[in-house]
Structure 1
Amino acid sequence: MQESPKTAPVAVVTGANRGIGRAVAARLARDGYHTVLAVRDPDRGRHAARDLPGSVTVERLDVADADSVTDFARRLRDRHGRLDVLVNNAAINYDTWQDPLGADLTVVRDTLEVNALGAWRVSQALVPLMRHRSPGRRIVNVSSESGSLTGMGAAAPGYAMSKAALNALTRLLAAQLAADGILVNSVCPGWVATDMGGPAAPRTAAEGAASVLWAVRIPDDGPTGGFFRDGEPLPW
C-alpha cells in the first residue's frame, strides 16, 4: 500500500473492505489508478488493503452520514485534487427474511439510506472533483437484478426497492452529466459468493467485479444511463 503521484487517475470504491468492492479496488490499483478504499471501519480497510497491488489508500466513509461524506470529499480534494472513477458499491441488508406486507419499515428505511441515498449523497459530494475534463470519468452504481421492475417479485423488499431507486439515480445522473462527458451506469455483478450473497452463490468476487470493471473501462463514446451485467443490457 503506497501513495501515488498526483498525476495518476484517482478511483474511489465505497464499501471496499471485502467482497466485490475489494476485488474492484484491487483491479483498479493494478490498472494504474490511485485507488481509495472508502470504508466505515478504517482498521478493517487497512487489513483489506494490506496485500493489494499498486497505489492504494484507505479513508473512513460512512455513506449514511452527511458529515462523514463532507469530510471525505474535503480530504479527497486536499490530497488528490481530482476524481476519475467513482464506484458506489456500499450496500446493506439483503433482507430475504422479509416480505412486503410484513416488512419492518425501519429495516427498509436503513437499507434505502445506505444503498440508494448513500450513493446519491456521495455522488453529490464528489462529482465536483470529476469536472476536470480528462477522459475516462465514470460513475458505476453497483446494483442488482433484484431492483429490476420487470422481474421483481416479493423477495427481499427493502433491498429490491433500494436497488430500483439506485437505478433511478443512475438515469438522473446520466442525464445531468452527459454534457460533462461523465458516463454513469448501473451494473449487476450477478449472484456472488460474498458475505451478503452467501456461499452457495455461483460467482466469485472477481467474476462479479468484472462486470463493474467493464463499466469503468468503456470508451468515452460508450453507453450512459444503462443497466448491465457482463456487458449486456438488463431490463429496467
Structure 2
Amino acid sequence: MTTTPSIRSAFAPTGKLRAAINLGNPILACQGEDGGARGVSVDLAGEFARLLGAELELVVVDAAGKSVDAVASEQADIGFFAIDPLRGANIAFSAAYVLIEGCYLVKQDSPLKANEEVDAEPNRVVVGKGSAYDLHLSRTLAHARILRAPTSPTVVDTFMELGAEVAAGVKQQLEADARRFGGLRLLDGHFMVIQQAMGTPKRRGAEAATFLARFVEHMKASGFVAAALARHRIDGASVAPAAA
C-alpha cells in the first residue's frame, strides 16, 4: 500500500496518529505487565502508524462507548469497534477484521437453559454501558429488562451485586469471571456475533475511509491478524472473511 500526503494529513492532522484503544474488551487489548496497552488492536494501530510514517499515540480508555466518543469527537484519529448503525452516524467503518461471540452467563441453579429463554419477564440482563451488546440488546430484547454496568469488565461484578438473572458480554471475559466467582455457567451458543472493525471520523473524507478499509483487508489477507490473535493467545475470536 502506498500513502500520499493527503492520506497522511487526513489520519495524522496533529503530526501523530492517535489510536483509541479500549481495554474493556480483552480480546482486543489489555494492560501488559509494564502497565502499557497490548493486544491485537495495539498491533494493528502500530502497523498503520508505520505505514503512514507517523508516531503512534495511544488514547487508552476502559469502555467501548468512550472509544467511540473519542473518535467521533476527533480526539482520536482511528479506533477499534463493533460495527453498529448508531455508531456509524459519525464514524466510517472498515469491514470486520475479527468476529467475536457475544454470550449469556447465568447462575448455576438458574432455570434458563437456552438463549431464546432470556427475553422474558422478569429477567434482568446486565451489559456494559455503550457496548455493542448494549446497543444490540436494546434493539432486540422486548421483555427482559436491561441493566448497565459502568464497563464491560465490570458486568459480572454488577450482575452478582444486583442479583440479576443474566450477564451478557464477550465469551472470553464471561468465562474468566465464571472461574473467578464460581457457581456460574454460560448458556450454550451465542446470541450475536460481533463484527469488530477499524473506524475513523467521517469528517476525514471518503479517501481516508477507503484507505483504512484497504488496510484492514491487507492485514487479514497477509496473515497479520491471525498471527496477532495467536501471539496474544486469544480464544473466542476468529479472523473475519474478506470483504465482498
| TM-score between the two structures when normalised by the length of structure 2 | 0.30
Give the structure with the higher percent strand.
Answer: 2
Give the structure with the higher percent helix.
Answer: 1
Higher relative contact order (CA 8 A, sep 6+): 2
Question: Which structure's CA Rg is the greater one?
Answer: 2
